[in-house]
Amino acid sequence: MSGKLLNDRAIIRLAATEDGEDVRGFLQGLVTNDVSGELPVYAALLSAQGKAMFDFFIWEGEDGEILLDCEAEAADDLARRLSLYRLRRKIDIARDETQAVFWSREKFDGAKPDPRLSDLGYRAVAERSETESADAEYLAYRLSQGVPEGRAEIADILWLETNAVELHGVSFEKGCYVGQENTARMNWRQKVNRRLVVVPLDQSEEKRRKASYPELALAVDHLRVTDLDPSTLPEWQAAGISD
């Protein structure tokens, strides 16, 4: 079988323009996860205060290049933001329209398991082709698993409050990155007071709502941990809250 196209995703390519330039090293000092090992990994670019700005998947490209699988509508903003950190480094950062993201709940050729949660299926980055779109299916399935994603749901939320630990989106062993100080302090003090939670829309609190999906009767709320009932949460999330 083959994967279906995610039109809501885009690819940003980071490539060295001179020999000796280290693209991985550049990202390692910016993003929340460790990019020095096996890819793909899930990660984010944070504000200095540790709040989420962009989330994405980091894939290995050819000849030392790195590919970022990100929201299509956020891709240009993400590329510009990364370019601000480039300074004089010889790295090209640009959207690559020849590549696309493919997804399926079942394994397909060239696909890797979603690094956040095995139940989220399989994804791949490959040459763009006009195949069946999976955007609606992917959204419904992702929310059914209780997983937040994208600026509409996570923007301006402290990274650990997006369930980043449980979804393998942060490393506490790597060196410094943007927003690392507050993120590490929250982890050390075990002070993650709120969480992003997928809830039925008719139970959503408007003041705490980040995003709503009337067609699915679901919403993403930013709620106090003390107000959550673990029995109503996905197993992966309940385990993280009860630890």
pLDDT digits (tens, 9 = 90+) for 205-227: 999 999 999 999 999 999 999 99
Residues 12 and 124 placed together within one structural domain of the fold: yes
pLDDT digits (tens, 9 = 90+) for 71-106: 999 999 999 999 999 988 999 999 999 999 999 999
User: What token pair was written down for 21?
Assistant: 């330039």
For residue 51, the enclosing domain spans 4-133
CATH no. for residue 180?
Answer: 2.40.30
Q: How many domains does the chain have?
A: 2
End residue of a domain, out of 133, 164, 179:
133
pTM: 0.96
**10 Å Cβ neighbour count for 202?**
8
3-state secondary structure of 201: helix
Q: Looking at the domain assignment, is residue 27 inside a domain?
A: yes
Q: What is the mean pLDDT of residues 141-159?
A: 98
Percent of the chain surpassing pLDDT 70: 99
CA atoms within 13 A on the CB side of 233: 22
Q: Are residues 119 and 151 in the same domain?
A: no
Do the Cβ atoms of 137 and 111 come closer than 8 Å? no
For residue 170, is it within any domain?
Answer: yes
